[in-house]
């Protein structure tokens, strides 16, 4: 049965399709003993022998879905070139799982890991509009006009963010901070931090509380659990 090489790699739990495309370009993938760097290459996984980093790979037989409450100080990657602690140091399972999307090193909260390449694609692709909800603490007392700008979309570098749900949870004049809840559909690099900076507010703490309707309120930082079948379906609805 034929399949695009990057999709096959994702099905094997190597990484998201986009990341697998990078691995192909970098020459880390072999098909029948030959390095392949051309995107879109089709393989017959029933006949061809596929290797990643010199190790033969095969699709995972059982898909697992893990919800982690990520602490600050861990990078969201399977392997870090600088030797920093990664989220996989917190999740010890026999399956080869990868993070679904990213949280930067200084952001805590909800992160899903899985060996289901199609799930990774559906959750991370903007067209599926999976919501992500953040609790954001910013320096200063935020003004209502700044909140309206965040709701309507702000200019960040070379794009304008889509409308977001934003509400003020708390303001503390003594500590000179404001706490907001921001829900977005996108997932661009450091997006929430950049959105707040665009309205003159510096983020001092950032926590992702929910992915879709699945939250980490009952999970201690650094701990994880398996998602139930109905939760996986709920995220993809």
As a three-state string, the secondary structure of 180-214 is EEEEECCCCCCHHHHHHHHCCCCEEEEEEEEECCE
Q: pLDDT band at residue 233, thresholds of 50, 70 and 90?
A: confident
Using CB atoms within 10 Å of the CB of residue 74, give its burial: 0 to 12 exposed, 13 to 18 middle, 19+ buried.
buried
Strand ranges (E), 71-176 = 98-99, 108-114, 132-139, 155-156, 159-160, 165-172
Percent of the chain with pLDDT strictly greater than 70: 99
- Ordered domains of the chain (ranges, CATH): 2-56 (3.10.290.10), 65-127+214-235 (3.30.70.580), 131-211 (3.30.70.1560)
Tokens of 213: 């309707």
Q: pLDDT at residue 128 above 80?
A: no
Q: pLDDT at residue 126 above 80?
A: no
Compute the average pLDDT of residues 123-146.
Answer: 90
The residues facing 137 across adjacent strands are: 179, 205
At residue 6, the pLDDT reads: 86
| Highest mean pLDDT of the ranges 31-45, 51-65, 71-85, 195-209 | 195-209
Strand ranges (E), 5-153 = 29-31, 34-35, 42-44, 50-52, 55-56, 65-70, 98-99, 108-114, 132-139
| Higher per-residue pLDDT: 40 or 107 | 107
Q: pLDDT at residue 22 above 70?
A: yes
Tokens of 167: 């509400």
| Residues with catalytic function | 104
CA 162 to chain CA centroid, nearest Å: 18
Q: β-strands 65-70, 108-114: how paired?
A: antiparallel
């Amino acid at each position: 049965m034929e399949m695009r090489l990057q999709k096959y790699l994702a099905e094997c739990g190597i990484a998201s399709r986009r990341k697998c495309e990078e691995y192909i370009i970098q020459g880390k993938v072999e098909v029948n003993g030959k390095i392949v760097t051309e995107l879109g290459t089709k393989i017959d996984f029933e006949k061809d022998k596929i290797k990643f980093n010199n190790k033969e790979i095969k699709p995972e037989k059982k898909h697992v879905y893990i919800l982690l409450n990520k602490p600050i100080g861990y990078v969201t990657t399977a392997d870090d070139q600088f030797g920093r602690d990664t989220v996989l140091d917190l999740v010890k399972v026999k399956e080869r799982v990868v993070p679904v999307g990213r949280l930067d090193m200084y952001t805590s909260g909800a992160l899903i890991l899985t060996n289901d390449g199609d799930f990774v694609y559906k959750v991370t692709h903007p067209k599926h509009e999976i919501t992500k909800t953040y609790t954001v603490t910013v320096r200063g007392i935020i003004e209502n006009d700044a909140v309206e700008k965040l709701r309507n979309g702000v200019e960040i570098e070379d794009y304008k963010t889509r409308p977001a749900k934003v509400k003020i949870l708390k303001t503390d004049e003594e500590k000179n901070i404001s706490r907001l809840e921001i829900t977005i559909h996108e997932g661009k690099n450091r997006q929430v931090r950049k959105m707040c900076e665009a309205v003159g507010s510096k983020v001092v703490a950032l926590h992702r509380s929910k992915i879709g309707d699945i939250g980490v309120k009952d999970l201690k930082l650094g701990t994880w659990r398996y998602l139930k079948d109905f939760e996986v379906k709920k995220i993809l609805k």
